[in-house]
Structure 1
Amino acid sequence: MPRYALITGASSGIGLALAEALARNGQALILVARQRDALESIACELSQRFGVDVLFRICDLAEPLQLSGLLHELEQSGRQIELLVNNAGFGSSGAFIDQPWTQEQEMIELNVLALARLCHAIGGQMARNGGGQILNVASVVGFMPGPWMSNYYATKAYVLHFSEALRNELKPRGVKVSVLCPGPTRTAFFRTANVRLGRLEGSKLMMSPEELAQLAVRALRKNKAIIVPGWRNRLMTLSPRLAPRWLVRLIAGRLNRSVLPG
């Protein structure tokens, strides 16, 4: 039986690009997302193109019962997961208290709690098996506070710091942990978060998911702790360390407010 990479949020964007990059390298896959039609088509295409075993599972990871069901099925199947890619997540924009609480709670459930639970369950299995690798997808915004996208920035800060700490905890047990911190990427994220791209659309800051995935997989092979693709994005992560916190908050808030609709 092959050993698998499990990728969440695999039906589009960064998750799909990572699935393709890994399949190209001969990696068997388990793709997880909510969209059955999209996943079925992607699984069939990747399997035919690259000759690898590609399975898919429909799951809303923000629903604890569905996540429990997925983990139970994985445990019962006996399939060994050698790479866990926690990519699923979404953002919102606007003043926090003006957003529907159900939306903000779902963001925390998906971006934070589902990721932590998958790391606990699958990371634990990896440790018992003596090895494996975890890639959690955060963002460059995880390095700073972000008024008018406050909850989203905070969830990505959690992913960044949690991943760094987990790396040290799991290293003696043979499990590698990396965190991917992309900058602006051409995905449906901006539409979902209700953010106007404006001048960012044609900016050199904007990276394609395919380019991002290639850089991420390359860095993953080198077991990099924090993967920030692109020198412009790496420069962006330095500003919170070099500038006063009040200035970082002010600049991030102004930028976020400028891309709000209306």
Structure 2
Amino acid sequence: MTQNITEPQSRPLALVTGASSGIGFELAKLFAEHGYDLVVNAEDAGIQKAAMLVQAGGASVVAVQADLRTEQGVAELWSQVQGLGRPLAAAAINAGVGQSGAFVDTDWADDLAIMQLNVVSTAALLKLALVEMTARDDGRVLVTSSIASTMPGAYQPVYNASKSFVQSLTEAVQEELSDKGSAVTVTALMPGPTETEFFDRAGLDDTAMGQGPKDPADEVARQGFEAMLAGERKVVAASLATKAQAAASRVLPDAVKAAAHKVIAKPRD
């Protein structure tokens, strides 16, 4: 889906992954509203409808349905971005999945899929975007981490561990860019429970976390987008409760955080 997006444009180009719904879709809309053209990605066919809705706001949009859990999917997406022949001004690396259950009970194939998407594809796209941006010394990246990155995730162990990797990688790269005096910025978006399809897809509907209050996806996206534009290193979004949870995580021992996470993530009998 495109409107002469390969032709010379005054609008900057942005990439958003996981853009068929939830935070990613809201981020795509914000980019369009702020004058960006877009490449949007998701593994499901809903990305086509999402692209049409974003395009209705005046942006030129390319929709790429590709599974980022695979090396081929990452390569296909990046090939589409590079094929436009335009500099990538911004990237929101947002795609991610989770799964409920004790580590000994989950299927290894499902665990591996979480790591491939949340860890491998995030790192791959971050590297590809930053190599392109730092060559021009211009660009902004928003990486969707999670408040879960700050705590051991009993009954959601692989997901939390994957987000800890993402947060650590993001903060390390931020320091490297600062050391080089680069104008390129990387921002970590750290949401708490958010109104998206994540909980249903992860099998968390029968947990206290899944049934508890959640932040609206549009507000989480807005805070992340604004932090990215401001070049901030991280933003905990969106509610005061989520921000309080992040503050508590900075001082509580890991064993206490793991026990607390068990209470909210353990499936109810």
* TM-score for both structures, normalised by structure 2: 0.89
Q: Give the partner amino acid of 1:93.
A: S
Q: Once the 2 structures are TM-superposed, how far is the Cα of residue 170 of structure 1 from its aligned partner?
A: 2.2
Return the letter of the residue paired with 1:219: A
Describe the SS at the equivalent of 2:250: helix
The change in CA–CA distance for 1:117 and 1:201 in structure 2 (over 3 A counts) is closer
Inter-partner Cα distance in structure 2 for 1:201 and 1:250:
17
Provide, for residues 119-163 of structure 1, a one-character-per-residue CA deviation record: whole Å limited to 9, x for no partner.
111110000011101110011111111111010000111111111
Asked if 1:228 is matched to 2:243, the reply is: no
What amino acid sits opposite 2:49 in the alignment? S
1:239–1:248: 8 Å Cα contact kept in structure 2? no
**Stretch of structure 1 that moved more, 63-72 or 223-232:** 63-72
What corresponds to 1:56 in structure 2? 63
Is the contact between residue 134 and residue 178 of structure 1 (CA under 8 Å) also seen in structure 2?
Answer: yes
Matches of 2:151 and 2:185 in 1, distance apart? 25
Q: CA deviation at 1:222?
A: 1.7
- Write the letter of the residue equivalent to 1:14: I
Tell which deviates more after alignment, 81-90 or 167-176.
Answer: 167-176
Q: Quick one: which amino acid aligns to residue 220 of structure 1?
A: M
Amino acid at match of 1:207: D
Aligned to 1:182: 191
CA contact (8 A) 1:190 1:197 kept: no
Question: Is 2:111 aligned against 1:104?
Answer: yes
Q: Which residue of 2 aligns with 1:214?
A: 222
User: Displacement, 1:254?
Assistant: 2.4
1:78 to partner: Cα distance: 1.4
**Cα distance in structure 1, aligned partners of 2:241 and 2:50:** 32
The reply to whether residue 27 of structure 1 matches residue 36 of structure 2 is yes
Letter aligned with residue 256 of structure 1: A
Note the C-alpha offset of 1:261: 5.0
1:35–1:66 distance in 2 versus 1, CA, 3 Å: same
Which stretch of structure 1 is more off in the superposition, 66-75 or 164-173?
66-75
The Cα of 1:72 is off from its aligned counterpart by 3.0
The aligned amino acid for 2:92 is V
Quick check: which one's helix share is greater?
1
Shift of 1:70: 2.5
Q: Give 1:14 deviation, angstroms.
A: 0.7
Structure 1 residues 199-227: Cα deviation after superposition (integer angstroms, max 9, x where no partner): 66785x41111121122222222221111
Matched length? 257
Tell me: CA distance 1:211–1:87, structure 2 relative to 1, closer, same or farther (3 Å): same
Answer yes or no: is the 8 Å Cα contact 1:112–1:155 preserved in 2.
yes
Query: Mean alpha-carbon deviation: is it higher for 55-64 or for 39-48?
Result: 39-48
Q: Which moved more, 1:111-120 or 1:235-244?
A: 235-244
Q: Which stretch shifts more, 210-219 or 95-104?
A: 210-219
Aligned partner of 1:253 in structure 2 is 262
Cα deviation digits, residues 22-78 of structure 1 (max 9, x gap): 211222111011223x22222222222x21111111110001122123223433431
The equivalent of 1:147 in structure 2 is 154
Is the 2:208–2:265 contact (alpha carbons within 8 Å) kept by the matching residues of 1?
no
Matching residue's letter, 1:186:
E
Gaps of 5+ in 1: none
> Residues 27 and 74 from structure 1, CA distance in 2 versus in 1: closer, same or farther, beyond 3 angstroms?
closer
Checking the alignment, whether the CA contact within 8 Å between 1:196 and 1:261 is kept in structure 2 is no
Q: C-alpha displacement at 1:79, in angstroms?
A: 2.3
Q: Is the 8 A contact 1:94 1:149 kept in 2?
A: yes
Equivalent residue runs for 1:71-220 within 5 Å? 71-171=78-178, 172-196=181-205, 205-220=213-228
CA–CA distance in structure 1, aligned partners of residues 109 and 258 of structure 2: 26
